[in-house]
Amino acid sequence: MRHYSKPLPTPDRDTLPYWEGCRRHELLMQRCADCGTYIFPPLPMCPACTSMNREWGRVSGRGRIYSWFVVHHATHPDFVDDVPYAVVLVELDEQPGLRLPSNVVECSIEEIEIGMPVEVVFEDVTDEVTLPKFRPVRAQDGS
């Protein structure tokens, strides 16, 4: 496993299932066990029905770019080689408003568009941590 020195997420009790899912290359979202509303980021109470009962459900990992911006100045020394890079907000197909911040891979900044269909890919950055990224859904061209 290559060296990775960038800041990494520290899973806590609320986010551990999410990060464990990523390690298995499955995108999990917290979900209200009563009304089925997906909740991200995890909250103590369902914003739709105020239920405290939560479960985790696997989602398709497909969505669309809701918004994005380009980082030109690294705020951490280990990102200096990456700038400029894009940070995107992906709205997952499962639910309007279910949005996940991430990065786009296999795509130049010039290609990014609002509404662009994307799908999740998983990047194993260390033995313990896998990060979800998104790539454009390309037309099936056999390549």
User: Which residues bind to Zn ion, rule: CB under 5 A?
Assistant: 32, 34-35, 37, 46, 48-49, 51
Q: Which phi and psi angles does 10 have, rounded to 5°? A: -110, 100
Q: In this complex, which beta carbon is closest to Zn ion, that of residue 22 or of residue 28?
A: 28
Reference 89, options 107, 103, 71, 106; nearest CA is 103
Q: In this complex, which beta carbon is closest to Zn ion, that of residue 48 or of residue 87?
A: 48
Q: In this complex, which beta carbon is closest to Zn ion, that of residue 37 or of residue 102?
A: 37
Q: In this complex, which beta carbon is closest to Zn ion, that of residue 40 or of residue 68?
A: 40
- Give dist(CA 49, CA 52) in Å, integer: 9
Report in angstroms how near the CB of residue 50 gets to Zn ion at its nearest: 7
The answer, yes or no, to whether the previous bond of 84 is cis (omega within 30 of 0) is yes
Reference 43, options 34, 33, 55, 30; nearest CA is 30
Q: Which phi and psi angles does 19 have, rounded to 5°? A: -70, -35
Q: Which phi and psi angles does 45 have, rounded to 5°? A: -135, 140
Report in angstroms how near the CB of residue 43 gets to Zn ion at its nearest: 10
